[in-house]
Amino acid sequence: MKAIELKKIDSYKWGKNVFEGLHFLKIFLNGGPKGNIGDSFFILEQNYNTKKSNDIRWEGHRRYIDIQYMVKGSEFMAVKNIDLMKFNPKYDKTKDFQFFEEKEKNGLELIKVNEGEFLFFFPRDIHKPCIGNNNRVEKIVVKVKI
């Protein structure tokens, strides 16, 4: 997995859901609609300081793909396959959010995401975003219903 520059998305072949999510992101960045677009997409605008990896929990989603786009700053995002994780039994159906714990220390990918780049996470991609050394970032997360 690697971070991809938004301006280079036409160089890749995308599945329908990811393609539509990226298109929605571009419209949003150009002043388009904010919030929910029907049942298929919604946007989360985030501003925060990054944290040390040990201070962040692993997260996953069941019904949405995350497209995490870095507007300003940079951060690291860790990702592991769901098969290497232990489920936390508490799943928030309203927010489509669940925490996970590592059951194996192997299989970790750590990816730096710079300004203008994005990563996307499918339900099998358990992830830990927001990793850094207390630097300020602005990020947009497009939630794409699958």
What is the CATH number for 106? 2.60.120.370
What residues make up the domain containing 70? 4-145
Q: Mind listing the pLDDT tens digit for each residue in 102-126?
A: 988 888 999 999 999 999 999 999 9
Rounded (10°) CA dihedral 120, 126, 131, 137: 40
Amino acid 122: pLDDT: 93
| Mean pLDDT to the nearest integer, 23-50 | 83
| Cβ contact 69:7 at 8 Å | no
Distance between CA atoms of residues 105 and 76, nearest Å: 18
Q: Is the pLDDT of residue 130 over 80?
A: yes
Tally the domains of the chain.
Answer: 1
Instruction: Give the global pTM.
Output: 0.90
Least confident of 46-60, 62-76, 92-106: 92-106
**DSSP label at residue 51:** B
| Mean pLDDT to the nearest integer, 80-106 | 91
